[in-house]
Amino acid sequence: MNSPIIAHPDFYASLVFNSSDLISILSPTGVYKYVSNSSTTILGITPEEFIGKSTLSFMHPDDVPIALNAIEQIRSRPTIHLPPFRFRHKNGSWRWVDCVVKDMTADPNVKGIVSNARDITDKVEAEQQLEMREAYYSSLFLNHPDAFFHLNPEGIIEAANQGMEPVLGLPIPQLVGRPYADFLTSQSIKAAKQLFSQALLGYSGTMELEALNFEGRTVYLSITAIPVILNGKVTGIHGIAKDITQIMQAQITIKEQAELLSSVFSSITEGFFVIDKQWRIKYANPFFILFFGLQIKFFKEQELWQVAPELHNSPFFEVCQQAAQTGKTVHFNEYFPERQQHIRFAIYPFSGGLTVYFDDVTLQKKKEQELLDLSLVASRTTNGVVIMNAEGKVEWVNDGFSRLTGYSRQEAIGQVPSKLLQGPGTNPETSARIYQLYASQQPFSQEVLNYKKNGEIIWFHIDVTPVFNEAGQLVKYVAIENDITELKQKETEMLQLTENLLRRNEDLQQFTYIVSHNLRAPVANILGLSYLINSEKNRDSDKFEKALTKIAAAANHLDMVISDLNKILSPLKNAANALQEPVNIHSIVQAVTAGLQEQLEAVHATLENQLPPDLTLTGSIAYFYSIFNNLITNAIKYRNQETDLKITISGQTESQKITILFTDNGMGMDLEQVNNQLFQLYKRFHPGTEGRGIGLYLVKTQAEAMGGRISVQSEPGKGTTFFLTFSL
Amino acid sequence: MLKRIFIVDDDEISVFLTESILERHGYLNCVKSYLDPIKAFAEILQTLQESSDGHYLIFLDLNMPIMSGWDFLDKLSAYEASLKGKCHVVILSSAVDGREIARSSQYPLVLNFVPKPLDPTAFELILETLQNNGALPAGKS
């Protein structure tokens, strides 16, 4: 500084004069005494314009206190560096000025306060702008409701805003200074590293990561990493964290439910699919895939008609449209001739499209049809058809059953057929057998006498088949009832005929035998007697005489037998077509009694005819006459010697039949001894009485020829009753 | 030696004829005739049971009331063991029937089946058979 050039006073004047700083000299009250030339450059005001004016008049009113403060302090302090203040430019704008003042009042060369000011407007404005930016940033970073954090290039958290606290439940001091990886689950660290290294290369990115909160529970965060680039270099990374745990949990729940639904749909044995409003398949279960023979990959999102063209242009399409329009569920069946299948559809419309269930019901339809056919057959057949439950109670009968038995379906249902139809004429053994056969649960056939509702007899041939379910349990019986009444009647008639023929044949054999004995007996006697007569030399002998008498008796006997034969043969001859004339029995008895009046009176006999006077039977007058004649004659013959004979003839009517009782108080018989030979030809049971054993034989033969029957009750010593039964 | 000859027949003439033939052969004193078969059975059985030796001949008719010849034979068969060898039955029937002859051969007590009327030749044949059986001494006829 002490160089020779400084010595000259002009040097300093020139320095001040040309300096870019504004140098001025002020009075102690702030009035300008000198202003350097630079004032024109800096403020557009010439130095002359400053002289004599107060510095305060050029200052910004807000900054005046700074000047007043400096004027006050300058007396006690030699140099003051004022804070920046604003100074008026000639054009009206304000310029920031940095100013240093020094009190040089004591210096004789100056005698005033030197002010050295510099225009710092550009600097101050730049500083102010920087402050504003920082305020923005800090406001954005610290006060933003989202969670923000800052990482340095080493991955250490350098800062975190208030929003970060609730995310993990940790206070910010516990976050700052620690590497980010400390807060993530091990599964997420790898992904996080990728995001971090991308950011270090200058790329932003977002990832969903799993972090652990203060309790050690997993929280799902969406992390966005933004690189902070300064001068083309990444100096740090900003991070934004969003808690998406609830969203994630909702997504997991949705996914789980979707899987559950899918498994439910897959397990549905019916076909199931969902289509949207554009007929695109949104879902279809395996049955659908199988049914339409699809490859799983190719059907989703395809139009239904492409996958299953047969559903197009079919009633199904129309019904779907209808369901979509009305929003109402539709059930319907459709037959697909090419498949030969009946498909049952259930279509449920919903806001997004249609849900369709479908099932192959071909078998079911077939069974329904079969059942329909069967029921048609069963109802139209002339036979009776009865369906019973496992307890044997009627569930259904056809019209044929009602026609045959007279019981309507309503009357039959719930009844046990055996109990409903069997009656007093049903053979109890047959009844028991049917019961056992039902219990045996085996198919069986049986002929049985049943009764119609009106009491008429009907013979059924029944075929019963038990029906079992898949488990082998008895569920039903099916019975077919065939009316065999006519057949049975013919069978009965045939049996009757055979019986009659057999009996007649027996009778004939008996007849032949008896006739041969009885016819030969007198012949043998005659032969013997004639031999005796021929060989007897003495014709006057007693023996000769006896033989002659006896030969006459024997010849008479023979004659009698021959006349008997005539009587006997007559009913046999006419048996096939016995006379069919009405005969009043009461009158016949009266006539017979009259004819035998003499004989009856001779033995003091009484006869009581108690028969109804109008009793009329169909037959032959001669036979009825012969019957009563024989019975009365017999009664006289075999009367009890100790009491007077009493004969009673009465009738008992019972269901289309009359039994005539012929009772006497005669000798009676031991029926055990008589055995069953009483009514046989030439059988005599009373030794010592006259009789040829033809009377009762004739009674029986004649009664039977007219469709009657005869039986007897007797007790030795008390009397005999004959029972003659005829159809009315 | 024939101790007794019984005739069981309800036909009086037939009995008379049979007795006449027996009389000719000198057997009348030992003949006992019955018209009632029930009475006949009772008495004949008693006689047979009381007798310890000798031979008995019965002429039996088949066609009788209440008790036929067959009934008679059936009742007699109950005592067959004690009667065998001493009681000989000859069936005397008015009719000759093959089935009846066959039936009569089932009864061990029946000796012969003879058609009525009994004639001397037939009776001699019966006696011959009895001799062959040892019931009668030979040459007696």
pLDDT digits (tens, 9 = 90+) for A517-530: 778 888 999 999 99
Q: Are B81 and B50 in contact (CB under 8 A)?
A: no
- Bridge partners (DSSP) listed for residue A616: A584
Spatial distance between the Cα atoms of A658 and A118, rounded to a whole number of angstroms: 169
State the pLDDT confidence band at A1, using cuts at 50, 70 and 90. very low
Q: Which of chain A's residues have a Cβ under 8 Å away from the Cβ of B113? A: none
**Statement to judge: residues A593 and A684 lie in one domain:** yes
ipTM: 0.87
Sign of CA dihedral B40, B42, B43, B44: positive
Residue A256 lies in a domain: no
**Statement to judge: residues A624 and A691 lie in one domain:** yes
Residue A320 lies in a domain: yes
| 3-state class (DSSP) for residue A305 | helix
Domain span holding position A339: 268-360
**Statement to judge: residues A679 and A616 lie in one domain:** yes
Supply the pLDDT for residue A393: 94
**Statement to judge: residues A169 and A301 lie in one domain:** no
**Statement to judge: residues A221 and A83 lie in one domain:** no
Kindly state the average pLDDT of the residues A231-246. Answer: 88
CA A441 to chain centre: 28
CA A60 to chain centre: 100
Q: Which of A224, A77, A198 is nearest to A146 (CA)?
A: A224
Residue A137 lies in a domain: no
Could you tell me the two tokens for A701? 């033969």
Share of chain A above pLDDT 90, in %: 20
pLDDT, one tens digit per residue, over A171-212 is 888 888 999 888 888 888 888 999 999 899 989 999 888 888
Following DSSP, what letter does each residue of A447-510 receive, concatenated? EEEEE-TTS-EEEEEEEEEEEE-TTS-EEEEEEEEEE-HHHHHHHHHHHHHHHHHHHHHHHHHH
Kindly state the average pLDDT of the residues A42-60. Answer: 87
| Phi, then psi, of A150 in degrees rounded to 5 | -130, 135
**Statement to judge: residues A218 and A149 lie in one domain:** yes
pLDDT, one tens digit per residue, over A409-439 is 999 999 999 999 999 989 999 999 999 999 9
Q: Are A652 and A661 in contact (CB under 8 A)?
A: yes
Q: What letters, b where the CB count within 10 A reaches 16 and e where it falls short, cover A140-177?
A: ebeeeeebbbbbeeebebebbbebbeebbebeeeebee
**Statement to judge: residues A502 and A440 lie in one domain:** no
Q: Are B35 and A546 a contacting pair at CB < 8 A? A: no
pLDDT of B139 over the 70 cut = no
Q: Domain segments of chain B: what residues?
A: 2-132
pLDDT of A713 over the 60 cut = yes
Q: Which of A47, A81, A77 is nearest to A66 (CA)?
A: A81
Q: Is B101 on the interface with A (CB under 8 A)?
A: no
Give A628→chain B minimum CA distance, Å: 23
pLDDT, one tens digit per residue, over B108-125 is 999 999 999 998 999 999
Residue A708 lies in a domain: yes
pLDDT of A236 over the 70 cut = yes
CB pairs under 8 A between A and B: 73
Element (H, E) at A366: helix A362-380
Spatial distance between the Cα atoms of A345 and A78, rounded to a whole number of angstroms: 109
State the pLDDT confidence band at B140, using cuts at 50, 70 and 90. very low
pLDDT of B92 over the 60 cut = yes
Which residues 11-50 of B have a C-beta within 8 angstroms of A? 11, 13-14, 16-17, 20, 35-36, 38
**Statement to judge: residues A586 and A720 lie in one domain:** yes
Q: What is the mean pLDDT of chain A?
A: 85
The domain boundary residue, chosen from A440, A461, A480: A480
Q: Are A451 and A421 in contact (CB under 8 A)?
A: yes
**Statement to judge: residues A490 and A473 lie in one domain:** no
Supply the pLDDT for residue B141: 43
Supply the pLDDT for residue A539: 78
pLDDT, one tens digit per residue, over B16-36 is 999 999 998 888 889 999 998
Residue of chain A with shortest Cα separation from B18: A528
pLDDT, one tens digit per residue, over A279-308 is 888 888 878 887 887 766 666 778 888 888
State the pLDDT confidence band at A163, using cuts at 50, 70 and 90. confident
Residue A569 lies in a domain: no
Which of A663-672, B54-63, B86-95 is least confident? Answer: A663-672
* Strand-strand pairing, B31-34 and B2-8: parallel
CATH of the domain at A425: 3.30.450.20
Q: Which of chain A's residues have a Cβ under 8 Å away from the Cβ of B122? A: none
Residue A572 lies in a domain: no
Kindly state the average pLDDT of the residues A381-404. Answer: 90
**Of residues A435 and A579, more confidently modeled:** A435
Give the CA count within 13 Å in the CB-facing half-sphere of A474.
17
Element (H, E) at B56: strand B55-60
Unique residue bearing structure tokens 């369709």: A356
Q: What's the structural domain count of chain A? A: 6
Residue A710 lies in a domain: yes
pLDDT of A629 over the 60 cut = yes
Q: Are A517 and B94 a contacting pair at CB < 8 A? A: yes
Supply the pLDDT for residue A686: 61
**Statement to judge: residues A418 and A536 lie in one domain:** no
The domain boundary residue, chosen from A360, A383, A400: A360
Spatial distance between the Cα atoms of A586 and A582, rounded to a whole number of angstroms: 12
pLDDT, one tens digit per residue, over A126-146 is 888 988 888 888 888 888 878
Supply the pLDDT for residue A444: 94
**Statement to judge: residues A323 and A241 lie in one domain:** no
Supply the pLDDT for residue A66: 86
The domain boundary residue, chosen from A217, A249, A281: A249
Q: What letters, b where the CB count within 10 A reaches 16 and e where it falls short, cover A611-633?
A: beeebebebbeebbbbbbbbbbe
Residue A131 lies in a domain: no
Spatial distance between the Cα atoms of A576 and A510, rounded to a whole number of angstroms: 19
**Statement to judge: residues A640 and A557 lie in one domain:** no
Q: Which of chain A's residues have a Cβ under 8 Å away from the Cβ of B119? A: 528, 531
Q: What's the farthest any 2 CA atoms get from each other in chain B?
A: 40
CATH of domain B2-132: 3.40.50.2300
| Phi, then psi, of A88 in degrees rounded to 5 | -75, 135
